[in-house]
Chains A and B, each alone.
Chain A
Amino acid sequence: MSRIHASEERLTQHDVGARDTTPRIRRSATDTAARGLDRRSFLKGGAALVFTLGTGGGLSILPFRSADAQSRWAAARGTDPTQLDTWIAISESGDVTAFFGKMDMGQGVDTAIAQIVAEELDVDVERVSVVMGDTHLTPNQGGASGSSGCRQGSIPLRNAAAEARRVLVERASEKLGVPVERLRTQSGAVFVADDSGTSVTYAELIADGFERELDWNGQYGNGLLVEGRAERKSPREYRVVGTSVPRKDIPGKVLATTEFCHHVTLPGMLHGRAVRPPIANAVPVAVDERSIAHIPGARVVRVGDFVAVVAEQEWHAIKAARELAITWSETEPPFPSMERLYDHIRSAPVVADNSVANFGPRRPYDPQPTLDAIAASAVSLEAEYELPFQSHARMAPSVGVADVRDGEALVFSDTQKPHDTRNGIAKLLGLPPERVRVVWRPGPGSYGRSDADEAAFEAAVLSREVGRPVRVQWMRHEGHAWDPKAPAAVITCKAGLDAGGKLTAWYFRAKGFSGWDVMFNASDPKDTLVGQLIGWPKGDAHNFGVPGESYAFPNAVKFWETIPPLMDRASPLRCAHMRAPQEPQLHFAQECFLDEVAARAGVDPIELRLSLLTNEREIAVLRAVKELSGWESRPSPRANVRGDVVTGRGVAINSGFGGHVATVCEVEVDRRSGRIWAKRFFVAHDCGLVINPKGLVATIEGNIVQGVSRTFEEVRFDERAVRSVDWATYPILDVMDAPESIEVVTIDRPELPPGGAGEPAHVTVPAAIANAVFDATGVRLRRIPLRLA
């Protein structure tokens, strides 16, 4: 058995200092809270922890009254990764609870975790429930992030379940007086192999918990890893993993029994609403509280430049926020006109740069040899691709409930990263992290660093000010106009070809706003709107990325450059990662430009890619999608296209987050109206071991359809403010425009660990559509949203 080296905490983040073009790696302290927290003492005495809110009396508010707080494990367990009891609990009735420091955001990750635990532990999957994203119950595994739910998040659970089974067999051996070699496990019980009459259930063996230690690699976040002494099953033995176990979350969502974050209420809770400025950089000069005096119970709370109202009734808070009269400062409009966005990016100074993908350390690069090689080539090509700001535009805008009192805070949020949010709210309130409990509850899909955290921070500020629990629900215009945006960019590609049409050089330069203008978690108030409004100076971190596929481009250079943000605080156009960080933008350029090269060389776009790829898995998915789609080998565009409605096909690939994808799109273009319908998709997908085939296909479909939507989305703004404020001004895909079909082939690789599926397919969509439009019409579209008319 290999021991994992327990080193210092190594959840690193890469950060670029002010006007410093050298990204530097900062080792950040992460989960001191969990270390300082001994839940056995903190929550000792199961009965005492059931505290009725509103009674005062100095009891902790953190173990709130709910089913889980009253259960046995809530009292007895901790979040220390080295304890087996942290990960797995078996009740007296034999039900198994797995504690998962990530969450399912709608792709069925909790079901996959239950399958993995059931598999290694030999229990029925129906008996496994998964507790997710509660800072007092689950270890800090980094939350929902980087398609890592199965890829990284499942590994500690798998190892813990295997170790739990080993301990159970060991105990059964002692109890039954039978050597472990003669014991086998099935459906939550240990049997004597040659004596089917003799058995003992897990519940009988484990009433007092495991009390075993695991080796821990010392990391928190996505990289957290623990191992026990147990040997894990070989994939050949899998009976639950690899099957389409029904998603655990679906019935509750369909039958209206699921408690979303939006349903959480606390006794004595007030409703809060913030008021936003009419010009993005205006601040409140005067607030006329009399303007809402007629609204029952409504009152103003102002902290720094953050203005909000609270009221007993939600409707009264909404009305008060609408009617509150505020005198705003006169300011110079902060933004370029929308028409000038891409010129602004082209001419803006470069603040930071790098030549590697998202999270890599800085690597030096020199474009000159590439440019020289292009200049010396028989043919040179150049194209610029323009990518707009996009909004996460969640189905519901941000929501959060907070109860701050007596040096503690209990917070409900649908954040993607509750442990980080806990640290950030602790910092905001000046509390030790272990005195703050953030409880994740399901919310609308957030797909990146959306507005999800914002309301929880605002609720915490308001609760601290008014001394009562406060629920903040952002309104629609806030969700669209004030969420962190996917960064706009201009991507320049250049290539040289020799006389035979063979590539001689490849140049890729992405220049845009920083994807880390808002960092990828809310572990600091500086990365929240309310934090910046009440005086936390905004950060200055820079990141964009370059594509990372295995194309063997000769004389290649790939690099990114970021430019200053448009405002230095509280900007509605502040940028953060959206699904698959900046990969959709990057691959729109790379995969379209490859098609431009193929067209110029007169070769088939798939053949060109196959001639350049070196990674076997990328080659395999590309070949698979070629076969699946019945791809006709020929150059684009199609010849002799006639008629008002024409069709074409395009391809794009992506590797990332442990997944490899090739996508073919067939479009139908109405040449009279300019309507582009992404009609059919064919997707070949390899993410290693497949845990739940049906769930994987559904996840891929979601990747594709959301990708179609984003191919036609952009945030609208003028010099003064964001003008995309609702679904009419920021349309997303309607069901009338949804594809006719999406055919998926998955390549299962049981010998490999599970890779990511939450993002890789999404990345391929805009380029596949644009390449198909070119094939159909001969028109090369280089700007998102794609528009022919």
Chain B
Amino acid sequence: MARFVLNVDGERHEVESDPDMPLLYALRNDLTLRGPKFGCGLAQCGACTVIIDGNATRSCVIPISAVEGASIRTLDGLGTAERPHPVQAAFIEEEAAQCGYCTNGWIITAVAGLERNPNPSDRAIREMLAGLKCRCGTHMAILRAVRRAADMLAAERSVGAQLDGRESEGRAQEGSA
């Protein structure tokens, strides 16, 4: 047993465990998070997925000793009812869950995937999500939700770019005045 320091959703946590304990058990049992879930313990289903230093990672197999100092993001820290992440907002809008047990993996993988590829084709969305399991067969709604999220994010970027353009225009005018 040893003490490990984790940086999860911007907060520091200390966990005492065996070095080989997968991160998932620290998140579930020590930090009592409800997002990452145990599905297989084999990195096959994705229910446990978290984002470690920008990469969607299966927390059920990565040892706690390997993630000290890393930035770990989870579904629990992603958004709130008042301020959901766009991917969460899209999943709520499309009602893209049945039992909801696998939902964590799809949302987190989509968040990391859209950060990497902000303008995915429908095909690229499927590839981004390949390998994740959903026993209820919610795939159609999930694909609609991730498409919607990608479009929302693109619209936000477009608005942001226009605002940036106006600001830089304004600054240029100030400079010339």
Contact = CB atoms under 8 A, between A and B. Distances in A.
Q: Do A and B come from one complex?
A: yes
Interface of A: 105-108, 246-247, 249-260, 262-263, 265, 296, 313-316, 318-319, 393-396, 442-445, 447, 473, 475-476, 694-695, 698, 701-709, 726-728, 732-736, 738-739, 741-742
B95 A246 contact: yes
Nearest to A399: B38
Contact of B138 (A473, A705, A707, A708): A705
A730 to B, nearest CB: 10
B47 A254 contact: no
5 contacts: A254-B100, A395-B47, A396-B37, A444-B102, A447-B135
Given A105-B98, A395-B135, A727-B40, 20 more contacts: A250-B97, A251-B92, A252-B100, A255-B80, A256-B104, A260-B34, A262-B28, A262-B38, A395-B45, A395-B134, A396-B101, A443-B99, A444-B101, A476-B39, A694-B95, A695-B95, A702-B136, A705-B139, A708-B137, A709-B137
Contacts of A742: 140
A422 B88 CA distance: 37
B172 interface: no
Contacts of A319: 18
Contacts of B141: 698, 701
Given A254-B88, A314-B25, A738 B140 contact: yes
B76 interface: yes
B126 A476 contact: no
Complex A-B, nearest 9 residue pairs according to Cβ-Cβ distance, in ascending order: A705-B137, A253-B100, A106-B98, A106-B99, A706-B137, A256-B35, A445-B99, A738-B139, A444-B101
Contacts of A296: 1
B84 A735 contact: no
Nearest to A480: B40
B150 to A, nearest CB: 15
Given A246-B95, A254-B88, A727 B44 contact: yes
B37 A262 contact: yes
Given A106-B99, A396-B47, A476 B41 contact: yes
B38 A473 contact: yes
Nearest to A445: B99
Contact of A702 (B38, B98, B132): B98
Contact of B130 (A250, A318, A732, A736): A736
Contacts of A726: 40, 42, 44
B17 to A, nearest CB: 7
A636 B42 CA distance: 44
B56 interface: no
Contacts of A728: 42, 44
Interface in B33-55: 33-35, 37-42, 44-45, 47
A254 B142 CA distance: 12
B97 A393 contact: no
Contacts of A313: 17, 21, 25, 29
Chain B residues touching A, range: 35 or more
Contacts of B99: 105-106, 395, 442-445
B148 interface: no
Contacts of A314: 25, 28-29
A396 B100 CA distance: 11
Contact of A254 (B40, B41, B103, B130): B103
Q: Which of B81, B130, B136, B141 has the most CB of A within 10 A?
A: B136
A335 to B, nearest CB: 25
A704 B137 contact: yes
Nearest to B105: A395
Nearest to B141: A698
A395 B101 contact: yes
A732 B34 contact: no
Contact of A701 (B84, B130, B140): B140
B136 A315 contact: no
Given A395-B47, A701-B140, A702-B137, A445 B34 contact: no
Contacts of B95: 108, 246-247, 250, 694-695, 698
Given A256-B33, A315-B25, A475-B41, A703 B127 contact: no
A255 B88 contact: yes
Contacts of A318: 41
Nearest to B138: A702
B79 interface: yes
Given A445-B98, A735-B129, A736-B127, A250 B104 contact: no
B131 interface: yes
Contacts of B98: 105-107, 445, 698, 702
A768 to B, nearest CB: 15
A656 to B, nearest CB: 19
Nearest to B137: A705
Q: Which of A247, A319, A396, A739 has the most CB of B within 10 A?
A: A396
B92 A250 contact: yes
A698 B75 CA distance: 24
A254 B1 contact: no
A248 to B, nearest CB: 11
B8 interface: no
A732 B38 contact: no
Given A256-B76, A445-B98, A706 B136 contact: yes
Given A393-B135, A727-B45, A250 B91 contact: yes
Contacts of A259: 34
Given A260-B34, A314-B25, A735-B130, A253 B47 contact: no
Given A250-B91, A445-B99, A698-B95, A258 B34 contact: yes
Contacts of B136: 106, 395, 445, 702, 706
Given A250-B95, A706-B136, A735-B129, A106 B44 contact: no
A735 B79 contact: no
Contacts of A708: 137
A258 B135 contact: no
B155 to A, nearest CB: 20
B107 interface: yes
B40 A738 contact: no
Q: Which of B74, B99, B136 has the most CB of A within 10 A?
A: B99
B143 interface: yes
A735 B138 CA distance: 10
Contacts of A442: 99-100
Nearest to A695: B95
B140 A705 contact: yes
B47 A256 contact: no
B101 to A, nearest CB: 4
A726 B41 CA distance: 10
Contact of B91 (A254, A316, A736): A254
A1 B21 CA distance: 64
A260 B42 contact: no
B38 A255 contact: no
A443 B47 CA distance: 13
Contacts of A732: 133, 135
A395 B75 CA distance: 18
Nearest to B129: A735
Contacts of B138: 698, 701-702, 705
A314 B130 CA distance: 30
Contacts of A393: 135
